[in-house]
Each structure stands twice: as C-alpha cells, then as structure tokens.
Amino acid sequence: MTIASEPPKAGFRLSQLIYDTRYRSLTIQVIVFMLFMAGAAWLVDNTVRNLQVLGKDFNFGFLSNRAGYDIGQMLIPYTNDSTHGRALLVGLTNTLWISFLGCVAATVIGVFVGVLRLSRNWLIARLMTVYVEIFRNVPLLLWILVILAIFTETMPAPNAYKVAPDTGVAGQEMLFGMIAPTNRYTAIPAVEFANSLGAIATPLAPLSLNFLLIVAVLIGSVLVNRRLLARARRIQEATGVRPVTWWQSLLVLVVPTAAVLVALGFHLSVPELRGFNFAGGTNVSNSFVVLWLALSLYTGAFIAEIVRAGIMAISRGQTEAAFALGLRPRRTMSLVILPQALRVIVPPLISQFLNLTKNSSLAIAVGYMDLRGTLGGITLNQTGRELEAILLMMLIYLAISLTISGVMNVYNARVKLKER
C-alpha cells in the first residue's frame, strides 16, 4: 500500500525579492528608503563640512542672548533686554493672533459673499462676482500695499479728532463714538474690570483670573445648554412634540455670564484725545489692521467660491422639499442647504486656512513683527545664524499647519455624511 506524502516546500531564494509579487513591493520600498536616508545623510554631512569651513557650528544657543531691539505690537511682555527666544515667542503669538482673526473674518466674509453670489437679485449677485474676481486675481502683496496706502493717505491725523473750543464740535467724528481710525493707528475701546481678581504670573505672560472665570462660566453654560437640548430631543423622540427651550437656553447662556461681568465691574475704556494722541482704550497699529483686512478680504474671495460650489452641489430637490414644507428661503439656506454643503465646503476650507496662516508672513511688508519679522528677520541678521533660524521657522510653521489640519479634520469627520 502506497502512502501519499506532502510535496516538499520550496526554500526561499533571493531572486524572489525581485520576481515574486509577494516580496517585490517590500523590496522596492526598502531600497527607496535606503536611498532617501543616504541622501539625507549626505546633505547633513555636506552642511556640517561647509559650516566648519566657514568657522561656524550648529547650535541654538543664540536664543538665550539679549535681543536688543524693540517690538511695537505684542501680546506678551517684552523689552529690548529680553532674549531672542522671547522675541521668537512674541513673533509667534503675533502670527497666531493675526491668523486666528483672519480665519474668522475670512470665513464670515466668504459665507456671506458665497450665498449672495447665488442671489436672484441681479445687482447683488454681480457686485459679489466683481468682489471675488478682483480680489482673487490680484496678488495678496499688492492688496496689502494698496490698503496700507489708503490708511496712510486718506485717514485723518489723531489731532483731527480734537474738539474746537469755539464751536464745541470735533473736526472728525469717531466711529460709533468709540473707534478712531488715524493715519498712524486705530484707537479702540479697552476692556476693563472695576473689581478685578488679579492675574497669575506664568513664564509666558500673566494669566488674568477674570478671563479664566469668564471662560469657565461660558463652558459651564454651554454644557448645561447641551443637556437641555438633549432632554428636549429625547422628549421629542418619545412623544413627537418638542418642548419650547429657547427661553431656557437664553437664560442659561446669557444670565450667568452677565452676572459675572456685572460682579467684576466690566466696562469699556473709550479712547479720548489728550494733546496730539489718544489716551485710554487701546491703540492698534495700522500695520496690524492693514494686514488683517488684506488677509481677510483676499482669502474671503476664495472661501466665497468654495461656499458657492458647496451650495450648488446640493440637489435642487432639497430646496423644493423645504419650500413644500413651508420653510422660507433664509431658513431653508440655514437649516437645510448649508448643513449638507459643509461636507463639500470643509476640505478645501482647510487649505484656505493654511494659506492664510502662511501668507501672514507677508507682514514684513507693513512692518508687523510676526515670526518672519522677529526670528526670520532681525534675529537672523543680528546673530548670523541663518540655517538655525530658517530651520526653526520652518518647523514652527509646519507644526502650526499640522495642528490646523488636525483640528479641521476632526470637525470634518463630525459633519461628513454618515451612512447607516
């Protein structure tokens, strides 16, 4: 009787790394990785050798040296006796602040213009089209210079707001009675508290206890309001009738915060002209205002097209169904169309936020001291550490961009279409 045995297994051969499809892709990846690492090693070695020839080394010790230069606009304490590292932090906070405000303003402008471009009113739609085409087809740097020229040449001097003794009338009226644009700065009201809780000293900047208390109350109010809405949703699912909650949400969101503001003695310090300049309030440099306006208007034109495309991607039947239920056009847009269009709008919107953040480096054109003006400008020129400064600046911009992408991707995952 013959017993069948299993055929012997073939041994592994080196030729399989190339000819066997099970190993070929892995082989190619390993080879490419080795070539990449070899190229990176050559680049690093070549850089080190060139630095040695120039009598330089590679270190970041210059960040602890005295900066010796002033910065006009800053969010954290700084003097010319501070270190270059502190100047870097000032530039970084300025970059983050202008980027945040620019993204908020550009989003508001983009949504507003994008919706109006689809208006049935011919004049409004054409005006919005003119805005979009003009701003997105002219380089951002030119818009920065144009807006700077407008502020410099057309805005009045601070003493133009002086009240004439004989008539008692100011030569130039303040906007809303509290904002004074000038050819040097814009005077705006400042937030003050009569019963301030003080501040906590931190290595970066003093942290206001008033601000922490207000933020804590706002977060608590939002959480309570979410519980109210969740309860109303459960009742609606159980009974088919949704209870009225708008007045409860209004009380929860407004009353606690208003009570805290009253207890802290919240008030606005309105700027007043004293001599040739404004005192009280806050004087915001025109370089900041110009950059903010240019970034917002320029990026808003691109966001408007994204919003328009997102709205047009929604089926016409959605609008007709909403109208059939008795919803008015404005409610249809806010409750039906825009929520569905978000899944189309958000991905390209992320790219526009990243572009705005990187375009903020053009602040050097108007003298606004951001990261490019401090670390990549004066610090680089004073210390002669070109390689270290540029690499550090690139890594910081990379970290900011990845953070924005991560946050927006989380939001995109929440609003995308979910199938059951």
Is the confidence at residue 419, as pLDDT, over 70? no
CA distance 56 to 206: 38
The pLDDT of residue 262 is 92
* The two three-digit tokens of residue 47, written as one number: 């850089």
> Per-residue pLDDT tens for 259-315?
999 999 988 888 888 877 888 888 888 999 999 999 999 999 999 999 999 888 888
Angstrom distances, CA of residue 170 to CA of 237, 273, 278 = 61, 11, 14
Structure tokens at 116: 């109006």
Residue 2 has pLDDT above 60, yes or no: no
Burial class of residue 97 in the structure, from the number of CB atoms within 10 Å of its CB (0-12 exposed, 13-18 middle, 19+ buried): middle
Question: Which domains does the chain show, CATH number per domain?
Answer: 59-154+286-420 (1.10.3720.10), 191-267 (no CATH)
- The per-residue pLDDT for range 359-377, each reduced to its tens digit, is 999 998 998 999 999 998 9
pLDDT band at 178 (very low <50, low <70, confident <90, very high): confident
Q: Which two tokens stand for residue 151?
A: 């502020």
Q: Which two tokens stand for residue 390?
A: 């540029």
The string of pLDDT tens digits covering residues 391-411 is: 999 999 999 999 999 998 888
CA distance 77 to 97: 15
Query: What average pLDDT does the segment 123-136 reach?
Result: 93
For residue 83, name the pLDDT band (cuts at 50, 70, 90). very high
Q: Which range, 65-69, 75-79, 202-206, 355-359, has the best average confidence (pLDDT)?
A: 355-359
Per-residue model confidence (pLDDT) at position 170: 65
Lowest mean pLDDT: which of 3-17, 71-85, 114-128, 151-165?
A: 3-17
Position 12 scores a pLDDT of 66
Asked whether the predicted pLDDT for residue 420 surpasses 60, the reply is no
Strand partners, 181: 186
| Cβ(96)–Cβ(290) below 8 Å | no
Burial-class residue 281 by CB neighbours within 10 Å (0-12, 13-18, 19+). buried
Q: What pLDDT is attached to residue 260?
A: 92
Q: Helix (H, G, I), strand (E, B), or coil: what is residue 313? A: coil
Would you tell me how many other CB atoms lie within 10 Å of the CB of residue 23?
A: 15
pLDDT tier for residue 343 given thresholds of 50, 70 and 90: confident
Q: Which residues pair with 188 in a beta bridge?
A: 282
Mean pLDDT of the residues in the chain? 87
Q: What is the mean pLDDT of residues 326-354?
A: 85
Q: Which helix (H) or strand (E) holds 290?
A: helix 286-312
pTM of the model: 0.84
Q: Which of 217-226, 261-270, 330-339, 353-362 has the lowest mean pLDDT?
A: 330-339
Mean pLDDT lowest among 80-84, 92-96, 175-179, 385-389: 175-179
Per residue in 5-40, pLDDT tens? 565 555 667 777 777 777 788 888 888 999 999 999
* Range in 170-174, 366-370, 386-390 the model is least confident about: 170-174
Instruction: Answer with the residue of higher pLDDT: 169 or 345.
Output: 345
